[in-house]
């Protein structure tokens, strides 16, 4: 409480770090009264501040410096063994009416939510410093960007938010400017608490633009600018303000003629999202002059421009990527990105203090992610959800357009899942309504390793199942609302890199060769590529895609480019039952579209 008194009685509050935004100051004071920190620190995002925080964390063991020769300015963080991932069963959307949260969210009444989590916050920062983190999601001067302030007692969170967002003085200045004009900012309150799984909640109050997270230091639960703000709260904001906040990568494809098309793509986990965002063209394409650039690997905010096209920004400034499986073979660009200035979380360590995880071609771990001697029979060296946090600007394929305030124009939107059967390599939706249905119905088949049952379909609409901040039925309706007179909407496609043959092996080579499919999409946008019309959409023939250098057998060609009418009849019956789960709020246009295609399949 002394820190509050000092700040409130200072002759120059700005020297204490306080804001010119009266509402922000009042909220910080209110949180301090509740949590009772020993000190309050307003973050400015400076190098000096970061160096001091890192030194503090090195001293108390929160961060362990890695090999300076191989990984300069990089650290290892080990989280609590019970705090290693998002906790969807403890993540709530607190709206006034349960129907507004929908069957896709865990709901709690706002009053109950505040009461439950505020009881945990009471006095939780005694002996700790309260950090005030002003941040901007998106380029600092972009009209598409939105700001927030996270209050936390974790210096690890501060260090990560500095990488993942535009954090500090410039963000605070924008919040103050917007406050003078009557604008609002997202309020996020976080404490690591006791890191007790039984005293852990992540609460979202969309109507109040507020997030409260207690009891976890894990990225998705603690870096409140990420999934909490950039998707759950932003999706709610986007609906009221006429834009889209989506779980999508953004990449640019430049052809030999110098034309660049930007593509946004949504995939559930384990479907190659980051690999596609950082794709390296096949050798033949490189020789011809094709280039792929990375605007974003995870989140995409899209808004209609004056010309009717959708323009997108990546609200994040960094990558919070999964380490295991990242290798010179799977994603060379990602591996090059994380060779310096990186925070690694829950990876293993080699004898010479280099980070290590399963999938790397070199190195031998001696210590696992818990800090214990590595024993492969006991546990993997790196936790399966271990992470790296790194600035996007370090990526070799980073696009300078990622900082363009107006965003990039989107030519195509891609949905995809992991389907071993039925779904072809790629197809194009007939129109926007059909495309929304394609996104609403997308999903993946489970594997034996994950669930004990093979081929169980789990639908994950637009890859937003864990992240949509309101009722999916209303969300689908919001998507449909963009189809207006004068709109020049992107074409919508669906891809499936994971179709398998009778021998259980993948039929498509994937990785860099996925550019061949993107090229076909771009040519479809331009009206220059062939396709066959089917009830499920337009499918390329094998000859419509550049397969030079790719060896595909007869089975691969049949299944990757084929159409199984009987299988799709069953699929569309399943989609019909799925839509019914959302009750009377489901848009009639989606039901009509499902029935139209089902009737064509029966014809």
pLDDT at 15 > cutoff 50: no
Asked, for residue 260, whether it belongs to a domain, the answer is yes
**259 and 407 inside one domain:** yes
Among 338, 372, 394, where does a domain finish?
Answer: 394
**542 and 410 inside one domain:** yes
pLDDT at 9 > cutoff 80: no
The tens digit of pLDDT for each residue in 253-272 reads: 999 999 999 999 999 887 88
Asked, for residue 145, whether it belongs to a domain, the answer is yes
**Per-residue pLDDT at 454:** 62
**Per-residue pLDDT at 272:** 87
pTM score > 0.85 for this model?
A: yes
**463 and 502 inside one domain:** yes
pLDDT at 410 > cutoff 80: yes
**Per-residue pLDDT at 66:** 98
**Per-residue pLDDT at 445:** 83
274 has binding-site annotation: yes
The tens digit of pLDDT for each residue in 168-177 reads: 999 999 999 9
**Per-residue pLDDT at 4:** 35
Mean pLDDT across 350-379? 97
**Domain containing residue 438: CATH number:** 3.90.228.20
**Residue 456: band (very low, low, confident or very high) from pLDDT cuts 50, 70, 90:** confident
The tens digit of pLDDT for each residue in 53-84 reads: 999 999 999 999 999 999 999 999 999 999 99
**Per-residue pLDDT at 447:** 55
Residue-level length of the chain: 603
- Could you write out the DSSP letters of every residue in 206-269? GGGTEEEEES--SHHHH-TIIIIIIIIIHHHHHHHHT-EEES-EEEEEE-TTS-EEEEEEE--T
Q: Which amino acids are annotated catalytic?
A: 271
pLDDT at 14 > cutoff 50: no
**235 and 363 inside one domain:** no
**341 and 376 inside one domain:** yes
Question: Quick one: DSSP state of residue 362?
Answer: S
pLDDT at 10 > cutoff 50: no
**Per-residue pLDDT at 453:** 63
**478 and 544 inside one domain:** yes
Asked, for residue 486, whether it belongs to a domain, the answer is yes
Task: Give the span between the Cα atoms of 274 and 534, in whole angstroms.
Answer: 31
Asked, for residue 72, whether it belongs to a domain, the answer is no
The tens digit of pLDDT for each residue in 20-50 reads: 999 999 999 999 999 999 999 999 999 999 9
**Residue 457: band (very low, low, confident or very high) from pLDDT cuts 50, 70, 90:** confident
Among 394, 414, 437, where does a domain finish?
Answer: 394
**Per-residue pLDDT at 431:** 98
Report residue 164 as tokens: 């993942």
Contact 512, 331 (CB under 8 A): no
Task: Give the span between the Cα atoms of 135 and 147, in whole angstroms.
Answer: 6
**Domain containing residue 349: CATH number:** 2.170.8.10
Planar angle of CA 507, 275, 222, nearest 5 degrees? 130
Report residue 264 as tokens: 């946004």
Count up the domains in the chain and report the number. Answer: 3
pLDDT at 414 > cutoff 90: yes
The tens digit of pLDDT for each residue in 111-141 reads: 999 999 999 999 999 999 999 999 999 999 9
**289 and 325 inside one domain:** no
Domain extent at residue 427: 246-316+400-602
Asked, for residue 74, whether it belongs to a domain, the answer is no
CB atoms within 10 A of CB 327: 16
Task: Give the span between the Cα atoms of 342 and 357, in whole angstroms.
Answer: 15
Task: Give the span between the Cα atoms of 445 and 438, in whole angstroms.
Answer: 16
Asked, for residue 412, whether it belongs to a domain, the answer is yes
pLDDT at 2 > cutoff 70: no
494 has binding-site annotation: no
Mean pLDDT across 525-534? 98
CB atoms within 10 A of CB 128: 18
477 has binding-site annotation: no
Contact 127, 35 (CB under 8 A): no
Mean pLDDT across 386-403? 98
220 has binding-site annotation: yes
pLDDT at 3 > cutoff 70: no
247 has binding-site annotation: yes
- Mean pLDDT score of the chain: 95
Instruction: Give the lowest-confidence range in 308-312, 319-323, 401-405, 452-456.
Output: 452-456
548 has binding-site annotation: no
Contact 74, 189 (CB under 8 A): no
38 has binding-site annotation: no
**218 and 192 inside one domain:** yes
511 has binding-site annotation: yes
**Residue 7: band (very low, low, confident or very high) from pLDDT cuts 50, 70, 90:** very low
**Per-residue pLDDT at 448:** 47
**Per-residue pLDDT at 6:** 36
- Percent of the chain beyond pLDDT 90? 93
Asked, for residue 583, whether it belongs to a domain, the answer is yes
**297 and 221 inside one domain:** no
- What distance, in Å, lies between the first and last C-alpha atoms of the chain? 74
The tens digit of pLDDT for each residue in 217-250 reads: 999 999 999 999 999 999 999 999 999 999 999 9
Among 242, 276, 306, where does a domain finish?
Answer: 242
Task: Give the span between the Cα atoms of 232 and 86, in whole angstroms.
Answer: 14
**457 and 341 inside one domain:** no
Asked, for residue 565, whether it belongs to a domain, the answer is yes
**Residue 213: band (very low, low, confident or very high) from pLDDT cuts 50, 70, 90:** very high
Mean pLDDT across 133-155? 98
Mean pLDDT across 295-323? 97
The tens digit of pLDDT for each residue in 554-566 reads: 999 999 999 999 9
Task: Give the span between the Cα atoms of 204 and 312, in whole angstroms.
Answer: 25
Report residue 270 as tokens: 């384990």
Radius of gyration of the chain (CA): 24
**190 and 90 inside one domain:** yes
**363 and 227 inside one domain:** no
**Domain containing residue 16: CATH number:** 3.40.449.10
**Residue 18: band (very low, low, confident or very high) from pLDDT cuts 50, 70, 90:** confident
The torsion of the CA quartet 518, 296, 204, 108, rounded to 10 degrees, works out to 20
């Amino acid at each position: 409480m002394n820190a509050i008194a000092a700040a409130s009685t200072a002759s120059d509050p700005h020297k204490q770090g306080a804001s010119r935004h009266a509402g922000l100051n009042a909220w910080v004071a209110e949180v301090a009264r509740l949590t009772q920190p020993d000190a309050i620190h307003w973050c400015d995002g400076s190098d000096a501040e970061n160096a001091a925080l890192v030194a503090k964390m090195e001293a108390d063991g929160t961060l362990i410096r890695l090999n300076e020769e191989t990984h300069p300015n990089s650290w290892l963080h080990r989280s609590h063994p019970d705090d290693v991932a998002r906790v969807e069963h403890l993540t709530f959307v607190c709206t006034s009416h349960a129907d507004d949260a929908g069957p896709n969210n865990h709901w709690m009444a706002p009053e109950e939510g505040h009461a439950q989590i505020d009881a945990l916050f009471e006095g939780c920062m005694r002996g700790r410093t309260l950090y005030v983190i002003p941040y901007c999601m998106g380029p600092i001067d972009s009209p598409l960007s939105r700001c927030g302030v996270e209050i936390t007692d974790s210096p690890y969170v501060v260090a990560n938010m500095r990488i993942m967002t535009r954090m500090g003085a410039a963000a605070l200045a924008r919040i103050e400017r917007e406050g003078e004009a009557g604008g609002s900012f997202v309020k996020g309150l976080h404490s690591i608490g006791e890191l007790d799984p039984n005293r852990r909640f992540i609460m979202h109050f969309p109507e109040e633009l507020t997030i409260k997270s207690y009891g976890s230091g894990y990225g998705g639960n603690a870096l409140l600018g990420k999934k909490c703000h950039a998707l759950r709260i932003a999706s709610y904001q986007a609906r009221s303000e006429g834009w889209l906040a989506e779980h999508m990568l953004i990449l640019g494809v430049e052809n030999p003629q110098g034309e660049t098309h930007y593509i946004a793509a949504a995939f559930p986990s384990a479907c190659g999202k980051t690999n596609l965002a950082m794709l390296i063209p096949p050798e033949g394409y490189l020789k011809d002059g094709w280039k792929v650039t990375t605007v974003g690997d995870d989140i995409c905010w899209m808004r209609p421009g004056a010309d009717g096209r959708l323009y997108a920004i990546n609200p994040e400034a960094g990558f919070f990527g999964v380490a295991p499986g990242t290798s010179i073979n799977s994603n060379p660009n990602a591996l090059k990105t994380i060779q310096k200035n990186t925070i690694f979380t829950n990876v293993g360590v080699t004898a010479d203090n280099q980070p290590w995880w399963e999938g790397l071609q070199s190195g031998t771990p001696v210590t696992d992610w818990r800090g214990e001697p590595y024993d492969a029979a006991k546990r993997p060296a790196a936790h399966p959800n271990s992470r790296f946090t790194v600035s996007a600007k370090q990526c070799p394929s980073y696009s300078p357009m990622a900082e363009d305030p107006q965003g990039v124009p989107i030519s195509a939107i891609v949905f995809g899942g992991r389907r071993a059967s039925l779904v072809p390599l790629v197809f194009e939706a007939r129109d926007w309504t059909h495309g929304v249905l394609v996104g609403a119905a997308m999903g993946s088949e489970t594997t034996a390793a994950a669930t004990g049952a093979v081929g169980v379909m789990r639908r994950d609409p637009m890859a937003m199942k864990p992240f949509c901040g309101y009722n999916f039925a209303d969300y689908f309706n919001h998507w449909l609302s963009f189809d207006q007179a004068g709109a020049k909407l992107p074409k919508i496609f669906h891809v499936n890199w994971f179709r398998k043959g009778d021998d259980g092996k993948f039929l498509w080579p994937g990785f860099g060769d996925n550019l061949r499919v993107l090229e076909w999409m771009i040519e479809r946008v331009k009206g220059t590529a062939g396709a066959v019309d089917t009830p499920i959409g337009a499918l390329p023939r094998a000859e419509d895609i550049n397969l030079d250098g790719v060896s595909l057998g007869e089975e691969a060609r049949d299944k990757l480019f084929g159409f199984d009418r009987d299988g799709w009849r069953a699929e569309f019956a399943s989609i019909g039952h799925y839509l019914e789960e959302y009750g009377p709020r489901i848009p009639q246009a989606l039901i009509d579209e499902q029935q139209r295609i089902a009737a064509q399949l029966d014809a």
